[in-house]
Amino acid sequence: MSSSPLLPDAPEPQAPPAAPPYAGPETTAAPAPAPAPVDPAARPLDATAAPAPVDPAARPLDATAAHSATAALSLRGLVKSFDGTEVVHGVSLDVPRGSFYGLVGPNGAGKTTTLSMATGLLRPDAGTAQVLGVDMWAEPERAKAQLGVLADGLRTFDRLTARELLTYVGLIRGMDAAVVDQRIGSLLEALGLADQEGKLVVDYSAGMTKKILLACALIHAPRLLVLDEPLEAVDPVSGEVIRTILRRFVAGGGTVILSSHVMALVEELCSHVAVIADGQVLAAGSLDEVRGGGSLQQRFVDMVGGADVAEGSLSWLDA
């Protein structure tokens, strides 16, 4: 709208009057011309204007998509079948950045299959996985550069020493050799393996093996760690070392996803948790939300079921 330079701007009238017919030149100042029609699509938004139609293809991210883009790991509709049998049924999950996230479920629940699809080890039949906003299957190199994985039962080059194995992992990730060497020293010292670096990994104990595999997952300084049963068969001393390193990683801004059968461990470490059974998510959220004022163990049993033993079924064990 036009305005006189000597007057403050006034609100635009709802229905501007029609301009009077032309009456020839005047000696006094002419009235301000009527405003030209305004294109509603280009008009500044005011309090009463109705919103212009939005093209769905061009609209900004909705709440779900925005959450996915800011999550450390975002899964949408993951499906996987083996030999014609579907074992993961449309799993969707958002892991907040900076969280220590527990994934719990009974044996055969689909936890390992879900994590394998999330980390690029297993291609899903349907669905998507994003690591820090990067699609795992559209841009796998970018996604995996931000990701460290300790997969349960995954074979490694165990006929190498700890230093040789870590050197191989660092170099294959494109790291500078001097940086790799410096980080190997730091990792072996922190994990209590400095005095064992000349020993072949195949000769390591279960606890030592977990620690060297964790070092492999950490050497490139990822922002997301995905750990499948990282403390299984680990002695108390090695377990405490691993806990300390993981807590420090999260305190420094990283995100940890930990799969475990041990509810006490998840309650001790995790800020968030998801319960998976029969290939689907039964509950997910903060630890307090999921356990609902009770213990995670009892909440898990209530959701999953199958804990009852029929009376008299083992009566032959009675003395």
pLDDT for 109-130, tens place per residue? 899 999 999 999 999 999 999 9
The count of residues in the chain is 319
**Of 167, 151, 83, 152, nearest in space to 119 by CA:** 151
Burial grade of 172 (CB within 10 A; 0-12, 13-18, 19 or more): exposed
Contacts of 160 (CB under 8 A, 6+ apart): 168, 200, 201
Per-residue pLDDT for 41 more than 50? no
187: left (phi > 0), else alpha (psi -120 to 50), else beta?
A: alpha
Per-residue pLDDT for 81 more than 70? yes
pLDDT digits (tens, 9 = 90+) for 177-231: 999 999 999 999 999 999 988 899 999 988 889 999 999 999 999 999 999 988 8
pLDDT of residue 64: 45
Helix-helix angle 236-251:206-218, to 10 degrees: 20
Q: Which CATH class is domain 77-155+223-304?
A: alpha beta
- Domain borders along the chain are 77-155+223-304
Average pLDDT of the residues in 280-291: 94
Task: Check residue 15 and report its DSSP letter.
Answer: S
Per-residue pLDDT for 279 more than 70? yes
pLDDT of residue 306: 67
Distance CA 79, CA 89 (A): 5
Asked if residues 166 and 174 have their Cβ atoms less than 8 Å apart, the reply is no
Higher pLDDT, 144 or 314: 144
- 308 band by pLDDT with thresholds 50, 70 and 90: low
What is the pTM for the complete model shown?
A: 0.75
